Structure 1
Amino acid sequence: MNEILSHLSIGFDVASSWTNLLVAALGAFLGTMVGVLPGLGPINGVAMLIPIAYALNLPPETALILLAAVYVGAEYGGRISAILINVPGEASAIMTTLDGYPLARKGLSNVALSLSGWSAFCGSLVATIGVIVLAPVLASWALAFGPAEYFVLIIFAFCCLTSLLGNQPVKGTLSAMLGLAIATVGVDANSGVYRYTFDSVHLFDGIAFVVVVIALFAIAELLELLETTMRGQSPEVPPNERKLFNLSELLYTKWTVLRSSVLGFFIGVLPGAGASVASAVAYSNEKRYQEGRDPNACFGKGDLRGVTAPEAASTASAVGSFVPMLTLGVPGSGTTAVMMGALTLYNITPGPVLFETKPELVWGLVASLFIANVLLFLMNIPMVRVFSKVLSLPNWLLVPGILCISYIGVYAINAGTFDLTMAAFLGLIGYLLRKGGVPMAPMVLGVVLGDMMEQNLRRALSITNGELHILWNSPITIGLWIVSLAIIIIPPLMRRRHTRKSKTQTMTGEAATIGNS
Structure 2
Amino acid sequence: MDIFNNLAQGIITILTVQNVLLLLAGVTLGMIIGVMPGLGPTAGIAILLPVTFGMDPTGAIIMLAAVYYGSMYGGTITSVLINTPGESATVASTFDGFPLARQGRAGPALVMAAIASFIAGTIGVILLSAFAPMVASIARTFGPPELFLIVVVGLLTLIMIIGKNRILGILSALIGFALATVGIDIGVGEQRYTFGSSELISGIDFVPVAIGLFGVGEILYSLWRGAHKEHLDFGKISIKGKGFWPTRSDFKESNGAMVRGSFLGFFTGLAPGAGATVASLMSYSLEKSISKKPERFGKGAMAGLAGPEAANNGASAGAMVPLLTLGIPGSAATAVLLAAFLMWGLQPGPLLMEQNPDFAWGLIASMYLGNVALLIINIFMIPTFANVARVPFRILAPIIIVICVLGTFAVHSSMVEVGIMLACGVLGFFMRRYGFSPAALVIALVLGPLAEESLRQTMIISGGNLGIFIERSASMWILAVMVALIALPFVSRRITRLAAMAVTEFGRRRRGTPVEPSPEAQDSLGSPGSPGSPDLLDLSGQKKDVNSPN
Tell me the TM-score range normalised by the shorter chain.
0.5 to 0.7
Deviation at 1:350, TM superposition (A): 9.0
1:396-423 CA distances to partner (integer Å, 9 max, x unpaired)? 3111122122223322222222222222
Q: Which residue of 2 aligns with 1:409?
A: 407
Q: Unaligned regions of 5+ residues in structure 2, if any? A: 34-43, 80-84, 238-243, 299-303, 328-336, 515-550
Q: Which residue of 2 aligns with 1:256?
A: 261
Contact 1:171–1:438 (CA<8 Å) still a contact in 2?
yes
Which deviates more, 475-484 or 288-297?
288-297
Q: Distance in 2 between matches of 1:168 and 1:112?
A: 35
In structure 2, the CA distance between the partners of 1:180 and 1:79, relative to structure 1 (3 Å rule), is: farther
Contact 1:187–1:195 (CA<8 Å) still a contact in 2?
yes
Give the aligned residue type for 2:23: A
Q: Which residue of 2 aligns with 1:89?
A: none
Q: Distance in 2 between matches of 1:354 and 1:399?
A: 40
Contact 2:24–2:370 (CA<8 Å) still a contact in 1?
no
Q: Distance in 2 between matches of 1:371 and 1:337?
A: 25
Give the aligned residue type for 1:196: Y
Q: Distance in 1 between matches of 2:460 and 2:322?
A: 29
Q: Which residue of 2 aligns with 1:315?
A: 317
Deviation at 1:381, TM superposition (A): 4.8
1:444-486 CA distances to partner (integer Å, 9 max, x unpaired)? 3322333332222223333333332332333222112112211
Deviation at 1:428, TM superposition (A): 1.9
Deviation at 1:150, TM superposition (A): 1.9
In structure 2, the CA distance between the partners of 1:28 and 1:485, relative to structure 1 (3 Å rule), is: same
Match of 2:209 among 203, 208, 212: 212
In structure 2, the CA distance between the partners of 1:238 and 1:482, relative to structure 1 (3 Å rule), is: farther
Q: Which residue of 2 aligns with 1:90?
A: none
Q: Look up the SS of the partner of 1:206 in the other structure.
A: coil
Deviation at 1:68, TM superposition (A): 7.1
Q: Distance in 2 between matches of 1:443 and 1:449?
A: 10
Q: Which residue of 2 aligns with 1:49?
A: 55
Q: How many residues align?
A: 454
Match of 1:171 among 159, 168, 173: 168
In structure 2, the CA distance between the partners of 1:217 and 1:324, relative to structure 1 (3 Å rule), is: closer
Q: Which residue of 2 aligns with 1:27?
A: 22
Contact 1:183–1:447 (CA<8 Å) still a contact in 2?
yes
Q: Which residue of 2 aligns with 1:99?
A: 89
In structure 2, the CA distance between the partners of 1:240 and 1:122, relative to structure 1 (3 Å rule), is: farther
Match of 2:69 among 76, 82, 93: 76
Give the aligned residue type for 2:314: A
Match of 2:421 among 404, 407, 423: 423
Contact 2:132–2:324 (CA<8 Å) still a contact in 1?
no
Q: Distance in 2 between matches of 1:378 and 1:503?
A: 51
Q: Look up the SS of the partner of 2:55 in the other structure.
A: helix
TM-score, normalised with respect to structure 1? 0.67
Contact 1:151–1:456 (CA<8 Å) still a contact in 2?
yes
Contact 1:179–1:444 (CA<8 Å) still a contact in 2?
yes
Deviation at 1:28, TM superposition (A): 1.2
Q: Distance in 2 between matches of 1:85 and 1:188?
A: 46
Q: Distance in 1 between matches of 2:122 and 2:429?
A: 35
Give the aligned residue type for 1:97: E
Are 1:222 and 2:215 matched, yes or no? no
Are 1:152 and 2:158 matched, yes or no? no
Q: Distance in 2 between matches of 1:377 and 1:319?
A: 23
Q: Distance in 2 between matches of 1:447 and 1:307?
A: 30
Deviation at 1:340, TM superposition (A): 8.5
Contact 1:43–1:338 (CA<8 Å) still a contact in 2?
no
In structure 2, the CA distance between the partners of 1:282 and 1:394, relative to structure 1 (3 Å rule), is: closer
Question: What is the RMSD computed on CA atoms of the aligned residues?
Answer: 5.1
Q: Distance in 1 between matches of 2:47 and 2:476?
A: 38
What does 1:241-390 align with in structure 2 at a 5 Å threshold?
247=251, 248=253, 251-261=256-266, 278=272, 280=274, 309=311, 311-316=313-318, 318=320, 370-371=368-369, 373-390=371-388
Contact 2:172–2:437 (CA<8 Å) still a contact in 1?
yes
Q: Distance in 1 between matches of 2:361 and 2:167?
A: 49
Give the aligned residue type for 2:54: M
Contact 2:139–2:326 (CA<8 Å) still a contact in 1?
yes
Contact 2:146–2:475 (CA<8 Å) still a contact in 1?
yes
TM-score, normalised with respect to structure 2? 0.64
Give the aligned residue type for 1:458: R
Higher-helix-fraction structure: 1
Q: Unaligned regions of 5+ residues in structure 1, if any? A: 52-63, 87-94, 268-276, 326-331, 342-348
Q: Which residue of 2 aligns with 1:195?
A: 192
Which deviates more, 442-451 or 413-422?
442-451
Give the aligned residue type for 1:414: H
Q: Look up the SS of the partner of 1:48 in the other structure.
A: coil
Q: Distance in 2 between matches of 1:312 and 1:481?
A: 27
Deviation at 1:124, TM superposition (A): 5.6
Deviation at 1:75, TM superposition (A): 3.5
Q: Look up the SS of the partner of 1:429 in the other structure.
A: helix
Q: Look up the SS of the partner of 2:195 in the other structure.
A: coil
Give the aligned residue type for 2:46: G
Deviation at 1:205, TM superposition (A): 2.6
Match of 1:448 among 437, 446, 449: 446
Give the aligned residue type for 1:76: Y
Match of 2:457 among 433, 456, 459: 459
Q: Distance in 1 between matches of 2:143 and 2:266?
A: 24
